[in-house]
Amino acid sequence: MNKDILIKTVARLVSPPKGILAIDESLPTCNKRFENLGVPTTEEKRREYRELLITAPEIEKYISGYILFDETIKQSAKNGENFTSILRAKGIEIGIKVDQGTVDFLLHLGERITKGLDGLSERLQEYKNAGATFAKWRAIYTIGENIPSRDCMKENAVSLAKYAFMCQELDIVPIIEPEILMDGGHSIEECYKITAQNFDILFSKLQDLRVFIPGVILKTSMVIPGKEAKIRVSSEKIAEMTIKCLKEHASKDIGGIVFLSGGQSDKEATLNLNAMHQIPELSWPLTFSYGRAIQNEALQSWAQNPNDISGAQTFLVERAKANSLASVGEYKK
């Protein structure tokens, strides 16, 4: 493990005013989005769409890194140039999703654990050879009656810690992503309680496995009510409770923190991030790692008119710019 390399990679990824673009949707997820918009679910169509995302002009002004999927990191543009080469030429860091999705947690109804540790070291080496400098592993938690359980949090925390350690052994920065899902009608207070408990368990396990915390990026959901919650709250309240939870329960040594958009609308994700940066004395670099909240308009535009690549790319870059401004507290509605 070269701690200096890890720290420098983290710094490049969370350097203001940039954030990370997640284009690592699994095949089922990507195909489902295509189906909903009437786009053929073929490998070539997925390649075509990802070429649009990767070649967007001047996206590098706002985006520091792309998280790719296994299929995408091996693909090339129509002119034969590898996607990884295009990103490197733009000065964009190459990331890779390495978890292999979730499975039911045995004897725990309604809970999921993430798989993918088997053969991970070999896959990480392969991705490193392809140019990857960072990786991502996601765990998910549903708030419901008596869930998530401590057992589920511990199980996922151990996997996240083992993954992070394996990444750092190869000088790859691990993004750890514990996502509290927005599904359900839970209050913002309930979300706070679960997020805090989960952070306590997660950072304890990271320490137990001797993970180098300054060489880690935390990708977290915001402290936010469920989609079906009766009481809606302001961006200011979400920002206040999210920052409080992070300050009290996340390690002060963490290299950087990025937010996922989850089930938020494009605008909500931007406004909530912007509100975070109205709070003084943040303890760490704080930015975005959005997927849908940046891609949505571009995907819809491309689905309607596949020949208007530049039009779709304009939507993509505009959303990236809006979130770039929000990441330094300068976004205006």
pLDDT tens across 61-91, in order?
999 999 999 999 999 999 999 999 999 999 9
pLDDT at 19 over 90: yes
Q: Is 219 considered catalytic here?
A: yes
Residue 308 has pLDDT above 80, yes or no: yes
Choosing from 51, 177, 240, 321, which is the catalytic residue?
A: 177
**pLDDT band with cut points at 50, 70 and 90 for residue 226:** very high
Q: What percent of the chain has pLDDT over 90?
A: 96
Structure confidence at residue 263 (pLDDT) = 87
Task: Read off the pLDDT of each residue in 308-327 and give the average, rounded to a whole number.
Answer: 97
Identify the domain containing residue 291 by its residue range.
3-326
Which of the four pLDDT bands, split at 50, 70 and 90, describes residue 333? confident
Q: How far apart are CA 320 and CA 325, in angstroms?
A: 9
Rounded to whole angstroms, how far apart are CA atoms 323 and 293? Answer: 9
Examine residue 299 and state whether it is found in any structural domain, yes or no: yes
Quick one: pLDDT band at residue 309, thresholds 50, 70, 90? very high
The predicted pLDDT at position 69 comes to: 96
Chain-centroid distance of CA 164 in Å reads 15
Place of tokens 């002009």: 57
Residue 264 included in any domain: yes
CATH number reported for the structural domain that contains residue 184 in this entry: 3.20.20.70
Is the pLDDT confidence value at 181 over 80? yes
The per-residue pLDDT for 55 is 98
Instruction: Give me the number of domains the chain comprises.
Output: 1
Rg of the chain in Å (alpha carbons): 19
| Helix or strand run (H / E) with residue 73 | helix 70-73
Lowest-pLDDT choice from 26-35, 129-138, 309-318: 26-35
For residue 94, the surrounding DSSP H or E stretch is: strand 93-97
Q: Which of 132, 124, 105, 109 is nearest to 162 (CA)?
A: 124
17 prior amide bond cis, ω within 30: yes
pLDDT, mean of residues 154-177: 98
Which member of 18, 205, 219, 321 is catalytic? 219
pLDDT in tens, 34-68: 999 999 999 999 999 999 999 999 999 999 999 99
Average of per-residue pLDDT values in the chain? 96
Instruction: Verify whether residue 227 is a known catalytic residue.
Output: no
- For residue 331, being part of any structural domain is answered with no
pTM for this model (two decimals): 0.96
Q: Is residue 32 part of a domain?
A: yes
